[in-house]
């Protein structure tokens, strides 16, 4: 190995191979630590030299990526580098050689970065209308399912999800659920208002070649109720009624209260309380969420309509909605 000193900067000829050849005589072990350990395609990652006893600011670091020397990354005190991950399933080899400030080899280390991907999807077991296309959101005291969808390729072959090891953590408690194929994590949210849940999963193969982590934060919302206009021929209108509606139409008016995100399987498990003009009224016996009013004999006035919806066990706050009609 040949070392040339020029203008106070070390220029290395064949640094990495030479240092590796002398590694058996090194007194101080080095390690490379990557964050994240298995980046997603196109994701930036950092590789850092771990050597607690080393004066990194006074040491010279020579880096190589995929066995190619990187002078742009090397230099005095450059104990970490930042790179961008390649395509899914690709490997990137990182080598580093270190010289002490006073001369002499401090150590070498090698790390292989393997690109992987992980998607976390969650949904709550809360009620939504059949026509609703969005996600069922979590509320207090509701069941939430978090699904891990890994995309890990090892030596050119996709790892089967059921053969991977999953380690789930919930809030401050680690390893709440651990095992092969445990790609679904089921929790019940707190019954305390304004609470949230931090869920983390680490997925790795049995040989620990690839390790991919994912995080999701579940923030419960309040259940909702929305009033929609309805007609015998057209059914429920696609747009919900505004809070204030001026209408010159008189006669029979039909309204439907659609509820969202209650922790029940059916709206039959909900109780509905309607008021019209300040007085309590009932919906239809078969469909208590459905209200029919006759405005034919009413004078021009403001007519408030309210709906309050509860789960029958009163485990969570009710949902309330106000609609004010201006009868012209």
pLDDT tens, position by position, 72-129: 999 999 999 999 999 999 999 999 999 987 777 788 999 999 999 999 999 999 999 9
CATH number of the domain that 284 lies in?
2.60.40.10
- For 171, list phi and psi in degrees, rounded to 5: 55, -120
Decide if pLDDT at 316 tops 50. yes
Last residue of a domain, one of 92, 114, 136: 114
- Same domain? For 293 and 281 the reply is yes
Decide if pLDDT at 25 tops 60. no
Contact yes or no for 277/306 (Cβ under 8 A): no
Min mean pLDDT across 33-47, 87-101, 308-322 is at 308-322
Mean pLDDT in residue range 18-22: 44
- For 11, list phi and psi in degrees, rounded to 5: -110, 120
Query: Which pLDDT score, from 0 to 100, does residue 9 have?
Result: 34
Query: What is the per-residue pLDDT across 200-248, written as a single tens digit (0 to 9) for each?
Result: 999 999 999 999 999 999 999 999 999 888 776 566 666 666 665 656 5
CA–CA separation, 60 vs 75, rounded Å? Answer: 5
- Same domain? For 100 and 126 the reply is no
Query: Which pLDDT score, from 0 to 100, does residue 67 have?
Result: 96
- Same domain? For 247 and 303 the reply is yes
- Same domain? For 139 and 202 the reply is yes
- Same domain? For 168 and 138 the reply is yes
How far is the first Cα of the chain from the last one, in angstroms, to the nearest whole number?
Answer: 96
- Same domain? For 104 and 195 the reply is no
- Same domain? For 310 and 236 the reply is yes
Query: Which pLDDT score, from 0 to 100, does residue 28 have?
Result: 62
Query: What is the per-residue pLDDT across 117-157, written as a single tens digit (0 to 9) for each?
Result: 999 999 999 999 998 999 999 999 999 999 999 999 998 89
- Same domain? For 190 and 252 the reply is no
Decide if pLDDT at 158 tops 50. yes
- Same domain? For 196 and 246 the reply is no
- Same domain? For 228 and 246 the reply is yes
Last residue of a domain, one of 90, 114, 138: 114
Helices and strands, counts by H and E, the chain: 1, 27
- Same domain? For 6 and 110 the reply is yes
Number of Cβ within 10 Å of residue 86's Cβ equals 16
Last residue of a domain, one of 114, 146, 167: 114
- Same domain? For 167 and 191 the reply is yes
Min mean pLDDT across 64-68, 69-73, 263-267 is at 263-267
Query: Which pLDDT score, from 0 to 100, does residue 246 have?
Result: 59
Query: Which pLDDT score, from 0 to 100, does residue 231 have?
Result: 73
- Number of structural domains (the chain) is 3
Provide the residue range defining the domain that includes 303: 224-327
Which two tokens mark 198? 């931090």
Query: Which pLDDT score, from 0 to 100, does residue 313 have?
Result: 78
Query: What is the per-residue pLDDT across 247-302, written as a single tens digit (0 to 9) for each?
Result: 656 678 888 899 999 999 998 899 999 998 888 888 777 889 998 888 777 776 78
């Amino acid at each position: 190995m040949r070392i040339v000193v020029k203008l106070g900067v070390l220029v290395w000829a064949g640094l990495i191979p030479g240092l590796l050849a002398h590694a058996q005589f090194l007194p101080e072990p080095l390690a490379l630590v990557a964050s994240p350990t298995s980046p997603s395609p196109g994701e930036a990652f950092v590789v850092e030299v771990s050597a607690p006893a080393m004066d990194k600011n006074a040491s010279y670091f020579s880096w190589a990526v995929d066995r190619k020397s990187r002078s742009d990354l090397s230099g005095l005190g450059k104990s970490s580098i930042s790179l961008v991950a390649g395509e899914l399933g690709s490997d990137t080899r990182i080598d580093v050689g270190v010289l002490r400030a006073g001369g002499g080899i401090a150590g070498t280390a090698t790390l292989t970065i393997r690109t992987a991907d992980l998607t976390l999807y969650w949904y709550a077991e809360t009620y939504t209308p059949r026509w609703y296309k969005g996600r069922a959101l979590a509320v207090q005291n509701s069941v939430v399912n978090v699904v891990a969808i890994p995309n890990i390729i090892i030596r050119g072959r996709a790892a089967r999800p059921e053969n991977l090891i999953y380690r789930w953590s919930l809030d401050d408690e680690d390893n709440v659920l651990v095992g092969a194929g445990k790609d679904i994590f089921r929790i019940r949210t707190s019954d305390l208002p304004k609470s949230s849940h931090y869920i983390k999963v680490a997925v790795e193969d049995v040989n620990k070649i690839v390790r991919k982590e994912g995080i999701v934060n579940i923030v419960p919302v309040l259940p909702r109720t929305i009033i929609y206009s309805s007609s015998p021929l057209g059914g429920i209108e696609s747009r919900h009624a505004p809070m204030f509606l001026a209408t010159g139409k008189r006669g029979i008016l039909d309204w439907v209260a659609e509820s969202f995100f209650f922790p029940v399987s059916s709206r039959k498990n909900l109780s509905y309380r309607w008021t019209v003009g300040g007085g309590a009224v009932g919906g239809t016996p078969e469909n208590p969420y459905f209200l029919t009013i006759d405005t034919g004999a009413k004078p021009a006035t403001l007519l408030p309509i309210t709906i309050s919806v509860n789960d029958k066990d009163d485990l969570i706050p009710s949902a309330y909605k106000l609609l004010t009609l201006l009868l012209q």
